[in-house]
Amino acid sequence: MISASVSPKAGAAPARAIGLDRNLEAIHAKDRKRRNLMENLTSVRFLLPLLAVYIVIVLIPFLQSIVFSLTDYDGYDFANAKFVGIANYQAIFQDQTLLAGLGFTLLYTIATTVLITAIALPLAVTLNRKFFGRNFARSLFFFFSVPSMAVLGLVWQYIFSPLGTGAVNTVLGKLGISPVPWLSDPTLAKFCVIFIAVWAQVGWHATLYLAYLQAIPADLYEQASVDGATRGQQFVHITLPQMVPAMGVSIFMLLTGGLKVYDLPFTLTTGGPGNATYTVTQSIIVTGIGSGRYGVGSALGVMFFLCCVILVALQQIVTSLIEKRLS
């Protein structure tokens, strides 16, 4: 009888191969970690200048504003400033001018955001269709957003002048209508500021929506047409869900731009009549710099920053919920 014996070397070879593979995997893993670390360090080097600028221009001044808001700092010698706690924040709610500025800023932000979104989206859908003079129409609507708001405020100040020599009142006078106090009536002044802002920005946001519309595959509309869907149904079930990301970008820009508005109301009405078109930014400048009440101005700036953060955070949450529901 011949007995079969297994050589120890025959079993050791696979074990050495497995150990060698594991060593190679460990070496490759270390190399990957080293490369990732080097890439991260390279990215950090590129970000350091931007981070330094952000710290110097944004973070440090914001922290200084928090400190100033707790003192009676007058802008001259901070060593003589006294700690007053939340007295500056309490003064904001007792100053009718500052409250008027906050109220009109919120009204302007909400009104322009809603109106521009409601007009720009259908306008973009219309400009996306084929018709004679389409390129000219696109350029015309976009041109409205080219001049700065300060320049538009000066131009529209003549157009909406409450005097009989104003452009609108001149036309109304020829029709036998008495001059309308466009910029001297509080309600009409608010209407004029919001109207000009919508007129100036709707073309730009329509162009933004148009760029997203052109990225929607045409096959979706062709299939919907074959299935008998109307244009309204196509807009609700195809266009609108595809436009949610664009609406998020547009609304974000409208909210942030509306909350920090200053140039248009100031050049058009200088915040008047009375405090009807007074804005938070103008309040911070007039109170903090013009009146030397840096503590109150800083407190208003801090509160304004927190309001902006809350509104933008709510907008991002609502947009993400809508995207999830429509996706």
pLDDT tens, position by position, 30-76: 667 777 767 777 777 788 888 899 899 988 988 998 999 999 888 78
> Is residue 16 very low, low, confident or very high in pLDDT (cuts 50, 70, 90)?
low
Which pLDDT value is given to residue 3? 47
**Amino acid 153: pLDDT:** 92
Q: How many Å apart are CA 271 and CA 101, to the nearest integer?
A: 9
d(CA 90, CA 67): 16
Domain 90-326 architecture: Orthogonal Bundle (1.10)
CB 161 within 8 A of CB 182: yes
pLDDT of residue 20: 56
74-106 pLDDT tens trace: 878 888 888 888 898 888 888 888 888 888 999
> Are the C-beta atoms of 137 and 124 separated by less than 8 Å?
no
Nearest-CA neighbor of 201 among 189, 211, 209, 212? 209
Q: Which among 96-110, 186-200, 236-250, 276-290 has the top mean pLDDT? A: 186-200
Tokens of 55: 């710290």
The single residue listed with the structure tokens 């990225």 is 215
List the Cα angle 79/97/72 in 5-degree steps.
Answer: 10
CA–CA gap between residue 9 and residue 12 (Å, rounded): 5
- Residue 1 — very low, low, confident or very high, per pLDDT cuts 50/70/90? very low
Predicted pLDDT at 134: 85
Confidence of residue 199 (pLDDT cuts 50, 70, 90): very high
List the structure tokens of 65. Answer: 């504003």
Predicted structure pTM score: 0.80
**Distance (Å, rounded) from C-alpha 295 to C-alpha 69?**
4
* Percent of the chain surpassing pLDDT 70: 89
Query: Domain map of the chain by residue range?
Result: 90-326
**Amino acid letter, residue 105:** T
Q: Which of 6-15, 112-121, 124-133, 270-279 has the lowest mean pLDDT?
A: 6-15
pLDDT value at residue 2: 46
